[in-house]
């Protein structure tokens, strides 16, 4: 393998409002996500993982940009943009909303926040949802502005997140329900506080509404978390594969419908409202899918996470799909992965072979492993 490589940055790959603070905290690696720098590790993937499981971890996830819909047609546009039924959504609520194009292909899988009847944030994964929404709003002449406001989430995740948040914001925050939020003035730092976050360990996302206050917010969270030994961390590939959380761009793309990646349950495809992709998703539902997401255990030595998709073969050497994300699970002490496989190979226990070659060795040799299909999630 030829990793690690140096990340070259420019103003095209914007630093987050927490950048200075994360550098001071010892960040070592970044990816690029929504045209911004996403911290990826401080010590190592495994060292950074345990505080999320057993303690509490704080993450710069400012790359979760907000696409703000505001104006008389904001609710009309929000409803068009997802197969999820939004008809009963309340102010103060979050909803996970797969978004699809007119052919039913996944555009993104963001979280929608309803701030007012005419004011929404779409908290996006890694694709330019703003361009998608602008194109539709403009073409249809909707009366709505589609902007990227100055909003940058900081996540606090782990079983001790409640204690840290209560010490920062007051006891009320313990009562905040999952996927609900509250606007909060934190000693002059304007926040939206949501019980949410991209782990299965629970916690909060603090949507900072003034990018000039990033270091101040980071430092206050770090200080308040010290009694619980809070650590700087990042979204964990290990934890999220264990828990069955998908990553847009890794585990699904515009080439997938929601039905192939376990997101059918969020699609109210017979709802009264018209949404983009409705006819296409009804057709897929009627015809059925030809491939579907499964887990795969990968045998042998501890693996590093994949840096490209890995081909998967049946035992009679037929290509049957691809591994999309893989990691070594510290809790299971096994190599685990997500894959999209043809329907004939979905049965748990089915043996497969995986080509784990992220880059061909100089002699052209490949790294092939044995594996077996597993049910998802790996840890519930």
Listed in sequence order, the residues at least 6 apart from 256 whose beta carbon sits closer than 8 Å to its beta carbon are 105, 106, 340
Listed in sequence order, the residues at least 6 apart from 152 whose beta carbon sits closer than 8 Å to its beta carbon are 16, 17, 18, 62, 207, 208, 211, 214
Minimum CB distance to a second copy smaller for 165 or for 269: 269
Minimum CB distance to a second copy smaller for 19 or for 186: 19
**Spatial CA neighbour of 107 closest among 240, 310, 236, 275:** 275
- Number of residues in the chain: 380
Minimum CB distance to a second copy smaller for 15 or for 202: 15
CA angle centred on 13, ends 188 and 1, rounded to 5°: 125
Binding residues for a second copy, rule: CB under 8 A, are 2-15, 19-20, 23-24, 27-32, 35, 40-41, 101-102, 107, 126-136, 138-140, 237, 247-250, 254, 276, 305-309, 324-325, 359-360, 362
Tell me how far, at minimum, the Cβ of 15 lies from a second copy, in Å. Answer: 5
Tell me how far, at minimum, the Cβ of 104 lies from a second copy, in Å. Answer: 11
Tell me how far, at minimum, the Cβ of 90 lies from a second copy, in Å. Answer: 28
Tell me how far, at minimum, the Cβ of 78 lies from a second copy, in Å. Answer: 15
**Spatial CA neighbour of 221 closest among 61, 65, 57, 17:** 57
Minimum CB distance to a second copy smaller for 7 or for 91: 7
Q: Are 186 and 130 contacting, i.e. CB atoms less than 8 angstroms apart?
A: no
Tell me how far, at minimum, the Cβ of 324 lies from a second copy, in Å. Answer: 6
Say how far apart CA 85 and CA 319 lie, in whole Å.
Answer: 37
Give 346-352 contacts, CB < 8 A, sequence gap 24+: 346/292, 346/294, 346/373, 347/373, 348/294, 348/372, 348/373, 348/374, 348/375, 349/373, 351/315, 352/296, 352/312, 352/313, 352/314, 352/315, 352/320
Minimum CB distance to a second copy smaller for 23 or for 223: 23
Minimum CB distance to a second copy smaller for 13 or for 372: 13
SS (H, E, C) 54-71: HCCEEEECCCCCEEEEEC
Task: Write the DSSP string, 337-355.
Answer: EEEEEEGGG-STT-EEEEE
Minimum CB distance to a second copy smaller for 162 or for 250: 250
Minimum CB distance to a second copy smaller for 195 or for 369: 369
Q: Are 144 and 78 contacting, i.e. CB atoms less than 8 angstroms apart?
A: no
Tell me how far, at minimum, the Cβ of 124 lies from a second copy, in Å. Answer: 11
Tell me how far, at minimum, the Cβ of 148 lies from a second copy, in Å. Answer: 8
Tell me how far, at minimum, the Cβ of 28 lies from a second copy, in Å. Answer: 6
């Amino acid at each position: 393998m030829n990793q690690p490589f140096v990340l070259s940055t420019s103003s095209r790959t914007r630093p987050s409002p927490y950048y200075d603070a994360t550098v001071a905290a010892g960040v070592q690696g970044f990816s690029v996500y929504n045209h911004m720098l996403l911290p990826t590790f401080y010590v190592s993937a495994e060292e950074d993982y345990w505080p999320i499981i057993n303690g509490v971890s704080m993450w710069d996830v400012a790359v979760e940009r907000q696409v703000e819909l505001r104006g008389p047609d904001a609710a009309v546009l929000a409803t068009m943009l997802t197969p999820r039924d939004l008809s009963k959504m309340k102010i103060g609520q979050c909803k996970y909303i797969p978004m699809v194009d007119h052919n039913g292909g996944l555009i993104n899988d963001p979280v929608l926040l309803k701030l007012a009847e005419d004011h929404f944030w779409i908290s996006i994964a890694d694709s330019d949802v703003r361009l998608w929404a602008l194109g539709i709003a403009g073409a249809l002449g909707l009366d709505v502005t589609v902007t990227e406001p100055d909003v940058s989430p900081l996540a606090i995740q782990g079983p001790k997140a409640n204690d840290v948040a209560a010490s920062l914001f007051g006891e009320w925050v313990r009562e905040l329900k999952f996927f609900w939020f509250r606007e909060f003035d934190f000693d002059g730092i304007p926040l939206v506080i949501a019980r949410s976050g991209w782990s299965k360990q629970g916690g909060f996302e603090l949507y900072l509404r003034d990018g000039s206050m990033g270091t101040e917010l980071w430092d206050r969270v770090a200080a308040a978390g010290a009694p619980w030994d809070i650590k700087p961390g990042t979204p964990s590939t290990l934890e999220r594969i264990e828990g069955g959380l998908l990553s847009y761009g890794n585990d699904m793309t515009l080439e997938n419908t929601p039905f192939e990646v376990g997101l059918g349950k969020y699609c109210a495809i017979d709802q009264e409202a018209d949404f983009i992709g409705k006819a296409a998703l009804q057709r897929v539902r009627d015809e059925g899918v030809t491939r579907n997401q499964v887990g795969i255990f990968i045998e042998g030595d501890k693996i590093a996470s994949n840096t490209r998709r890995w081909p998967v073969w049946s035992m009679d050497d037929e290509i049957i799909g691809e591994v999309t994300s893989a990691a070594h699970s510290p809790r299971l002490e096994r190599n685990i992965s997500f894959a999209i496989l043809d329907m004939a190979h979905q049965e748990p226990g089915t043996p497969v072979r995986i080509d784990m070659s992220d880059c061909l060795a100089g002699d052209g040799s490949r790294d092939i492993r044995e594996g077996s299909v597993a049910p998802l999630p790996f840890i519930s």
